[in-house]
Structure 1
């Protein structure tokens, strides 16, 4: 890890990709976001916008809101069908045995 900077709840550093394509999330970042062993993270990638990683629980809450009829409030530019497809995809990513995912303090 090189060039660590931690200030005002922000962090910047570099990580190397290992031979299996894996990276290590720095301890400071895991602590900042309360990421623990066994947590499920979602990786979002867009060839133009880049890569984002977030806890499953954050997206599970969004999916729950969509299923509760709040799709237009969350994604006003998307159709109800698009939002439901997104929500179903999120829920489909939940792995059996991941019982702690909705319990983060966001």
Structure 2
């Protein structure tokens, strides 16, 4: 419990500083005293579940991350809500990777699903992304429809 308490305290302090809030700002926004916020950040006490939820909403992070994320272990700040860091994987001899179970669960990826592999070679943020094929095809269909609509001349242009 002590480790958990210091985790929450560290996360609350970091998030407040990242958002450039004072303890008074945080206290006002969630309806508690500045002293309560100071005690949470010092690890002297922990916020109840209602206040944890309010803090997670204020900072736009997952409640689970607010409580469990360990910045010292990961070397990273808490990710914004809906953004994930699933860990690292090793590339096999033939280029294969195994997606972490949590990633498969979050995105409902099942054996046999087809994924589109996207790449970005830009120097400022190179990377590879995966997307479910049916989602990608849906997006391309929307673009195709939008382009076709743009090609249809107005009635006034015909005359």
TM-score tier, shorter chain, comes to 0.5 to 0.7
Aligned to 2:139: 62
| Aligned counterparts of 2:144 and 2:117: Cα–Cα separation in 1 | 22
1:50 Cα deviation (Å)? 1.5
Give the CA RMSD over aligned residues.
3.0
Match in the other structure for 2:130? 53
- For 1:37 and 1:24, locate their aligned partners in 2 and report how far apart those are by CA, in whole Å: 12
Which stretches of structure 1, 4 residues or more, deviate above 4 A after TM superposition?
5-9
Determine which structure has the larger helix proportion and give its number: 2
**In structure 1, the residue corresponding to 2:87 is in which secondary structure?**
strand
Greater RCO structure (CA 8 Å; 6+ sep): 1
Q: Could you state the TM-score of these two structures normalised by the residue count of structure 1?
A: 0.54
In the alignment, the residues of structure 2 paired with residue 15 and residue 41 of structure 1 have an alpha-carbon distance, to the nearest angstrom, of: 17
Unaligned runs of 5+ in 2: 1-73, 152-159
Structure 1 segments unaligned to the other structure (5+ residues): 73-78, 81-106
Specify the structure having the higher radius of gyration (Cα): 2
Structure with greater proportional strand content = 1
Number of residues of Structure 1 aligned to a counterpart in Structure 2? 71
Cα contact 2:116–2:130 (8 A) shared by 1: yes
Scaled by the length of structure 2, the TM-score of the pair is 0.38
